[in-house]
Amino acid sequence: MQFHLNGFKPGNYQVPDAARKAYPNPPIKDLPQEVDVLIVGTGPAGLTMARQMSEFSDIKTCIVDMAPGPLLFGRADGISCRTIEIMEAFNSSEMVVKETYHLKQNTFWEPDAANPENIKRTEKITDARAGLSEFTHGIVNQARLHELLIDGMANSITNLHPHYSRELVDMQIDESLTQNLEAHPITATFKRVDDAGNAKTETVKARFAVGSDGGRSRVRKSLNISLEGDTANKAWGVMDILLNTDFPDIRVKSFIQSKDHGAVMTIPREGGYLCRFYVELDMIDKDSRATDLKLTEHNLIAKAQKIFHPYTLDVKEVAWWSIYSVGQRLAERFDDRPTGSADNIIPRAFVSGDACHTHSPKGGWGLNTSLPDTFNLGWKMAAVLQGKSDPKLLSTYGTERRKVAQQLINADKELSKLVATRPTTGDHSDGAKVDTAKIEAFMKRQSGFVSGTSIEYFPSYICTGQENQHLAPGYKIGQRFHSAEATRVADGRSQHLGHLVKADGRWRIFVFGGAEDPTKTSSSAYKLIDFLANDASSPILKYTPKGADIDAVIDTYAVFQQQDLSMHDLHGYLWPAKGKYELRDYEKVFHAQTGNDIYDLRGIDRNQGCVVIVRPDQHIASILPVAAHADLSNFFDEFMI
pLDDT tens digits, one per residue of 110-122: 999 999 999 999 9
pLDDT at 585: 98
Taking the C-alpha atoms of residue 153 and residue 142, their distance in angstroms, rounded to an integer, is: 17
**Residue 29 amino acid letter:** K
CATH code of the domain containing 311: 3.30.9.10
392 is a domain residue: no
Q: What is the pTM of this model?
A: 0.94
Partner residues linked to 488 by β-bridges: 590
The burial class, CB within 10 Å (0-12 / 13-18 / 19+), for 282 is: middle
Q: Tens of pLDDT along 563-617?
A: 999 999 999 999 999 999 999 999 999 999 999 999 999 999 999 999 999 999 9
Contact 389, 641 (CB under 8 A): yes
Partner residues linked to 510 by β-bridges: 557, 612
9 is a domain residue: no
Secondary structure letter of residue 145 according to DSSP: H
Q: What are phi and psi of 330, to 5 degrees?
A: -135, 135
Q: Which segment of 92-106, 305-319, 378-392, 401-415 scores lowest on mean pLDDT?
A: 401-415
630 in the same domain as 504 = yes
579 is a domain residue: yes
Stretch 128-137: mean pLDDT: 87
Q: Characterize the bridge pairing of strands 620-624 and 253-257.
A: unpaired
Contact 109, 254 (CB under 8 A): yes
306 in the same domain as 185 = no
Q: Tens of pLDDT along 150-173?
A: 999 999 999 999 999 999 999 999
**Residue 377 pLDDT exceeds 70:** yes
Which domain covers residue 260, as residue numbers? 103-135+231-326+421-440
**Residue 302 amino acid letter:** A
Which of 71-85, 271-285, 377-391, 449-463 has maximum average pLDDT?
Answer: 377-391
Percent of the chain with pLDDT over 90: 80
185 is a domain residue: yes
CATH code of the domain containing 214: 3.50.50.60
b/e string for 87-98 if b means 16 or more Cβ within 10 A?
Answer: bbbbebbebbbe
Contact 78, 139 (CB under 8 A): yes
530 in the same domain as 613 = yes
**Residue 323 amino acid letter:** I
Secondary structure letter of residue 215 according to DSSP: T
**375 vs 229, which has greater pLDDT?**
375
User: What are the Cα distances from residue 1, in Å, to 226, 388, 497, 614?
Assistant: 44, 44, 28, 35
Beta strands across the sheet bearing 138-139: 78-79, 138-139, 101-102
Residue 396 — left, alpha, or beta (φ > 0 → left; ψ -120 to 50 → alpha)?
A: alpha
236 in the same domain as 167 = no
Contact 17, 5 (CB under 8 A): yes
Q: Tens of pLDDT along 200-245?
A: 999 999 999 999 999 999 999 999 999 988 776 678 899 999 999 9
**CB proximity list for 403: less than 8 A, separation 6 or greater:** 457, 458
345 is a domain residue: no
To which H or E segment does residue 316 belong? strand 313-324
Contact 43, 74 (CB under 8 A): no
426 in the same domain as 283 = yes
**Residue 425 pLDDT exceeds 60:** no
pLDDT tier at 431, thresholds 50, 70, 90: very low
- Is the dihedral angle over the CA atoms 605, 606, 610, 613 positive or is it negative? positive
193 in the same domain as 241 = no
562 in the same domain as 436 = no
Residue 295 has, within 13 A of its CA and on its CB side, a CA count of 25
User: What are the Cα distances from residue 59, in Å, to 158, 186, 203, 384, 402?
Assistant: 9, 16, 19, 11, 26
Number of domains in the chain: 3
269 in the same domain as 163 = no
Comparing C-alpha atoms, which of 392, 400, 387 is closest to residue 553? 387
Q: Tens of pLDDT along 243-270?
A: 999 999 999 999 999 999 989 999 999 9
109 in the same domain as 90 = no
608 in the same domain as 506 = yes
**303 vs 281, which has greater pLDDT?**
303
Secondary structure letter of residue 444 according to DSSP: H
107 in the same domain as 57 = no
Stretch 461-469: mean pLDDT: 98
411 is a domain residue: no
Q: What are phi and psi of 125, to 5 degrees?
A: -130, 160
254 is a domain residue: yes
167 is a domain residue: yes
191 in the same domain as 71 = yes
Mean predicted lDDT score pLDDT of the chain:
92
CATH code of the domain containing 600: 3.40.30.20
